[in-house]
């Protein structure tokens, strides 16, 4: 999801972009449906709800925009690299730890074994748990890679995007906030070209840009290019941002996000196709930056949209970072059936899980995440 989260710590003299909070929530809620359909797919080509992985790129654009907006002017006021990174850790890490805890519990419920039923030693699980809470990736074919399918974070797969979010935050603190507009445009242009090439040259194996979740093959390169382009273009847009006049921005942008993520794999003949890579490139390089720009230009004008944006924004990060351990359990149940289970057979369960995860995210936000972050901020910064 992140990669996913943008800080909500703003200067008190600046307005708050409510619509961007709401759009982040819309994308996070759609990611869950993308992951539901993963359990019934044999490859990216036959997955019905196919482009949910592009939500990560949207999150990165949004994060760059909001972080640039919130922090660019504060470096001249004495903000230090250490303080900035500490604020990011306090914002992101409490819920990340909770997601890893859920992950280790889910793995133990499944019998502490890989997908091919190879038993996993308890010390390997604990090593994976430790790496997860320290935000250190498990390398393929090592003891810590406990599920056996190459995930950087086998106990909570989507944490890979938070890993690259941390990389982007470090890059911003050390280099990016110092760059001129011209230099930043070069970063955007070069990383955008590289990202498009990963899609159309089939570095993912299925002509998409869904790299980064594994350290194998081109995972590192794909993840770095995804965050480099998207975070940097969001940062660039935040500088000298001039809103455009638009009515119904929340509904237009939400429909665009949902529409993009629902698009089936684009192929003329049922095989991996470069047309899907072209689609991914256009959505990432052009459509998502435009959605963030329009979302930042709009404002809530009625009680319904204002309430939705507030609620969606609040639960967006918690639901993104804690939902996948429940998916592991769902997949194990689907694949363990003597006869193949279809989505048409269990869609009511998926709907119930979706609403249950929303409720769980809200409860964790209120009873765990917000209190822990308030306590950490008091300890770290006092009344600031």
pLDDT tens digit string along 360-369? 999 999 999 9
What integer best gives the mean pLDDT of the chain? 92
Is there a contact between 179 and 189 (Cβ–Cβ < 8 Å)? no
Give the pLDDT band (50/70/90) at residue 351. very high
HEC secondary structure over the chain: CCCCCCCCCCCCCCCCCHHHHHHHHHHHHHHHHHHHHHCCCCCHHHCCCCHHHHHHHHHHHHHHHHHHHHHHHHCCCCCCHHHHHHHHHHHHHHHHHHHHHHHHHHHHHCCCECCCCCECCHHHHHHHHHHHHCCCCCCCCCCCCCCCCCECCCCCCCHHHHHHHHHHHHHHHHCHHHCCHHHHHHHHHHHHHHHHHHHHCCCCCCCCCCCCCECCCCHHHHHHHHHHHHHHHHHHHHCCCCCCCCCCHHHHHHHHHHHHHHCCCCCCCCCCCHHHHHHHHHHHHHHHHHHHHHHHHCCCCCHHHHHHHHHHHHHHHHHHHHCHHHHHHHHHHHHCCCCCCCHHHHHHHHHHHHHHHHHHHHHHHHHHHHHHHHHHHHHHHCCC
pLDDT of residue 245: 86
Q: Which of 190, 310, 194 lies closest to 250, judged by CA?
A: 310
Residue 140 has pLDDT above 80, yes or no: yes
104-118, 218-232, 292-306: range with lowest mean pLDDT: 292-306
Residue 9 has pLDDT above 50, yes or no: no
Whether the predicted pLDDT of 10 surpasses 70: no
pLDDT tier at 14 (50, 70, 90 boundaries)?
low
Band of the pLDDT at 372, cuts 50, 70, 90? very high
pLDDT digits (tens, 9 = 90+) for 26-50: 999 999 999 999 999 888 898 888 9
* Residue ranges of domains in the chain: 18-381
What's the predicted TM-score (pTM) here? 0.93
Q: What is the pLDDT of residues 199-208, one digit of tens each?
A: 999 998 899 9
Check pLDDT > 90 for residue 13: no
Q: What number is the average pLDDT over the span 323-348?
A: 90
């Amino acid at each position: 999801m992140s990669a996913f989260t943008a800080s909500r710590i703003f200067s008190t003299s600046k307005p708050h972009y409510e619509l961007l909070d709401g759009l982040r929530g819309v994308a996070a809620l759609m990611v869950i449906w993308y992951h539901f359909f993963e359990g019934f797919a044999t490859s990216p080509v036959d997955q019905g709800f196919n482009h949910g992985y592009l939500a990560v790129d949207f999150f990165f654009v949004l994060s760059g925009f909001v972080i640039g907006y919130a922090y660019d002017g504060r470096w001249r006021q004495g903000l230090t690299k250490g303080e900035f990174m500490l604020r990011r850790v306090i914002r992101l890490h409490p819920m990340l730890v909770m997601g890893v805890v859920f992950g280790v519990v889910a793995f133990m419920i499944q019998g502490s074994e890989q997908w091919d039923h190879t038993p996993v030693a308890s010390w390997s699980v604990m090593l994976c748990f430790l790496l997860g809470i320290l935000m250190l990736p498990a390398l393929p074919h090592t003891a810590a890679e406990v599920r056996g399918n190459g995930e950087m974070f086998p106990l909570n797969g989507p944490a890979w995007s938070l890993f690259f979010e941390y990389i982007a935050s470090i890059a911003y603190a050390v280099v990016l906030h110092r760059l001129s507009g011209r230099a930043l445009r070069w970063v955007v242009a070069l990383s955008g070209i590289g990202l498009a090439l990963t899609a159309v040259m089939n570095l993912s194996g299925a002509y998409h840009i869904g790299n980064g979740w594994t350290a194998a093959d081109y995972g590192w390169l794909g993840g770095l290019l995804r965050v480099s382009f998207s975070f940097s273009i969001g940062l660039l847009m935040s500088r000298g941002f001039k809103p455009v006049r638009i009515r119904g921005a929340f509904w237009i942008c939400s429909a665009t996000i949902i529409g993009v993520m629902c698009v089936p794999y684009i192929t003329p003949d049922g095989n991996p196709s470069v047309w899907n890579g072209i689609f991914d490139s256009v959505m990432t390089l052009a459509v998502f930056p435009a959605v963030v720009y329009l979302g930042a230009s709009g404002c809530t004008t009625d009680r319904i949209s204002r309430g939705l944006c507030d609620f969606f924004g609040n639960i967006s990060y918690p639901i993104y970072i804690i939902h996948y351990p429940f998916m592991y359990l769902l997949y194990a149940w689907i694949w363990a059936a003597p006869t193949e289970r279809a989505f048409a057979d269990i869609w009511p369960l998926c709907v119930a899980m979706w609403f249950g995860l929303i409720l769980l995210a809200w409860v964790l936000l209120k009873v765990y995440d917000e209190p822990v972050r308030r306590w950490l901020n008091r300890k770290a910064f006092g009344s600031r």
